[in-house]
A and B are shown apart, each in its own frame.
Chain A
Amino acid sequence: MKARIQHWSLWVMAWLLMGLPMVGHAELNIVISGGQESGVPIAVVPFSTTTNTDFASIIRADLARSGQFAPLSTDQMPGQPSAPEQVQFDQWRSGKAQYLVIGKVEQQGASYQATFYLLNVSNGQQMAGRVISAPISAERSIAHRIADIVFKQITGVRGAFDTKIAYVTETDGPMNKRRYTLEVADSDGANPQTVLSSTYPLMSPTWSPDGTKLAYVSFEGRRSGIWVQDLRTGQRYQLTKFPGINGAPSWSPKGNKIALTLSKFGSPNIYVVDLDTRALTQVTNDGSINTEAAWMPDNQTLVFTSDRSGSPQIFEQASGSRSAQRLTFGVSYAAGGAVSPDGKTLAMLAGGNGGYRVAVQSLSGGGNDLRYISNGGSEERPSFAPNGTMLIYASQAGGGSVLKVSPLAGAGSQTLRFASGQVRDPAWGPFQGTEQ
């Protein structure tokens, strides 16, 4: 009986505790729905500098390329402060910018030193304030690093602007001979450096995960082979020279393996080379075409293109497994698969009525959530930025082809500018160094 009374008392107490604060207290609840879809309005004020480089415009282009920011033009800025104490926040609050990037760049001997600040316009808080220095020859990297810090501070995702891209160019050389080069450039296409030049076709570069080497296909000697080249020393060696096709290399996430396509026994199949032992393991084994392997983050599972079901589709197969699962169902043609660094998204070249366009789907969605990223209709195999927020791909334009970058979120693409000729087979390099 006592227990029952206590039980009852507890209920009353609970009622009192829960009920009392509600009594006679009606709060105002307001629902905000929709809003305007827009990149984050951000003002990158021209940096105070004695150099000719427009650091702010490099940062603006980076942030805009991500699709998640809408940088303001300079005429939308109520002032051009370069230090926090110069900022008239009241003026900025009446404008559109939510965030403000200001700073200055000074020369210190053979290097530049940048001091910059990221400020929250609405509350005046300083979200970042850093000093960054770089050799004069790498002055643009200062801007990319600032863009990375801004991106990380606001989105929570590591920025991938201070990264490199590799790609192949094809131009008309002397005596009407075709000339092929393997190039490495900044993520915005600036500072291109020729890694290799050849009169034989070059194809399909792939980055080592530490960013120090490239593997690629070269047809030198009139036969295809996979080559590995050290970017610091320029030294290179031939990894494979099997009869038939030696193609589509893909460096594994841990760096110890390269997946590739060989046709040494007839039809093209996927193989894996262990870089330490040079042991070759066959992954697929059938009479259809199997190519364009790409690694899942587990360093074990591969996705690849196969026409075993009729039209080309993308499949997934674990190393050591003998069976593959089809991943793409929404389109009649799906090839050139690429896996996002987090392993959640599959990017591909999807073909159908609208030509060949870059598309993505979630790897867990059963192919039901395919969505197109590019809209040109004549694109080629995409490559993920190391933070998974952007894709780079070649796109046919006029007589040649150009490189384009599209954000996964939002719409639109930025075309990277190059001198001339055909530019194709882009591969986005890894993060450089540790996160800042």
Chain B
Amino acid sequence: MFRWFTRMPLSILLAIALHLLIILAIFISFKMNAFSPASEASNTPTEQTIQAQSVPQSAIDQQLNRLKSADVQRDQTLKQQKSEAEKAQAAAEQAAAARRAEQARLQQLEAMREAKQQATAAQEQQLKAAQEAQKQAQKTLDAQQKALEKIQQETAQADAQKQAAQAEVAKEKSAAAAAKQAAAKAAQVSKQAAEKASAEKAAADKAAQAQAAKEAAAVAAKEATREKSAKEAADKAAKAAAVKARQSQESALQNQLQNELRQSQSKGVMDAYAAAIKNKVQAQWYKPPGWEPQWQCNVRISQASDGTVINVKVLQCDGDQLFQRSVQQAIERASPLPLPSDMSLFQSSINFTFQAKP
């Protein structure tokens, strides 16, 4: 090794320098990829998310980064999280924040009831029902916007109901043992929730959250009214933890919703932008007779911020001069090109592929 240094210091130095360059390049690529506000969180590994407040950020991060990725990854994270109750919580938070929040609350309440009735079987049935509801919700993906609105409303409702329930619980302090049991069961249930959560696709989350919120609200109301004795089992510590978890989950939910909304909006704006340009250029393309179906023309244009085409560069073009001119004319006549409704998405350089074949 040392002989290398002595015999070829330049090469070694070059190699080291290139390594540094690569690392720098990767770092730059991360920076350059940073498009959405949530991307800062992408640098924080999921293992850190033990504290309830840090959890939602990783959840958002994963959501955003894996919106459409395979479920396999989620299964893996789920296995890790099963090892500890806290990790389970973390996993739970990786799932759709809204559903998780509601489910966690639901499960806490259910745990309290179980502490007395020990009717866990009933709970599992409810959870299964919730799962089915969520599957159904997956099918209604196109109602995303409505679901978003719904979930906001219903989250508010559920919050109010739960606050009421918890207020009652606070009044009646009861045995600590029962509280511990409740907490343990809450942890178990949250594990289940985590399994469910990670198994579900991100795209379905919003709609699923709406369903879950409904379920949670209904159950919470039932629990609050029917089983007042459950309040005795509630411990202050458990309450505090639950409140904390809920708060962080809710803020995570909010962030996620905002990010998803922003992403879907910017994608929509981008699509509309590209479509507007395509329509205008296509309407101006008069393809002269004598064209052949396989003819294709690739051009790159640059435009000023008002959409005025300032340069047309023909990269590759089949056909005769008349055909090539028709392509150039189409772009020049479409100038100024349409602008995006969000100017942050403006593209100063655009590639066009003209295909003679209709």
Contacts and interface: CB of A to CB of B under 8 A. Distances in A.
Interface of A: 1-2, 5-6, 8-9, 12-13, 15-16, 19-20, 23-25, 27-41, 67-68, 70, 93, 98, 120-123, 154-157, 407-411
Contacts of A5: 4, 8, 11-12, 15
Contact of B18 (A9, A41, A67, A122): A9
Nearest to A19: B25
B335 interface: yes
B288 A31 contact: no
A9 B14 contact: yes
Given A28-B274, A32-B278, A39-B288, A20 B354 contact: no
B335 A155 contact: no
Contacts of A41: 286
Contacts of B152: none
A32 B352 contact: yes
Given A32-B285, A35-B287, A410-B289, A16 B330 contact: no
Given A40-B322, A123-B332, A23 B28 contact: yes
A410 B289 CA distance: 5
B350 A28 contact: yes
B53 interface: no
B125 to A, nearest CB: 48
Contacts of A20: 25
Interface in B314-358: 320-322, 325-326, 329-330, 332-333, 335, 347, 349-358
A265 B28 CA distance: 89
B333 A30 contact: no
A122 B22 contact: no
Contact of A31 (B4, B289, B355, B358): B355
7 contacts: A5-B4, A12-B15, A23-B28, A29-B352, A34-B287, A68-B322, A157-B321
B286 A98 contact: yes
A365 to B, nearest CB: 13
Contacts, number: 150
Interface residues of B, number: 50
A16 B335 contact: no
A407 B354 contact: no
A94 to B, nearest CB: 10
Nearest to A98: B329
A155 B286 contact: no
Given A2-B8, A31-B278, 15 more contacts: A8-B15, A9-B11, A9-B14, A12-B18, A13-B18, A24-B28, A27-B350, A32-B352, A35-B356, A39-B288, A40-B322, A41-B286, A121-B333, A155-B320, A410-B290
Contacts of B33: 23-24
B274 A9 contact: no
A155 B353 CA distance: 21
A156 B317 CA distance: 15
The binding surface of chain A is classed by DSSP as mixed
Nearest to A13: B18
B25 A23 contact: yes
B352 A30 contact: yes
A16 B18 contact: yes
Centre residue among B4, B28, B285, B330 by max chain A CB count within 10 A = B285
A372 to B, nearest CB: 15
Interface in B1-50: 4, 7-8, 11-12, 14-15, 18, 21-22, 25, 28-29, 31-33
B347 A28 contact: yes
Nearest to B282: A32
B351 A27 contact: yes
A33 B291 CA distance: 13
A23 B347 CA distance: 17
B355 A2 contact: no
A13 B14 CA distance: 10
A24 B278 CA distance: 24
Contacts of A120: 332
B290 A409 contact: yes
Given A5-B11, A30-B281, A35 B330 contact: yes
A23 B287 CA distance: 36
A226 B281 CA distance: 58
Contact of B288 (A19, A34, A121, A409): A409
A39 B273 CA distance: 30
A155 B289 contact: no
Contacts of A93: 333
Contacts of B333: 93, 98, 121-122
B277 interface: yes
A36 B286 contact: yes
Contact of A16 (B22, B322, B325, B354): B22
Nearest to B278: A30
Contact of A23 (B29, B349, B350, B356): B29
A13 B11 CA distance: 12
Contacts of B18: 9, 12-13, 16
B32 A24 contact: yes
A156 B352 CA distance: 23
B287 A37 contact: yes
A154 B290 contact: no
Interface in B104-149: none
B155 to A, nearest CB: 35
Given A9-B18, A35-B285, A35-B287, A30 B326 contact: no
A30 to B, nearest CB: 5
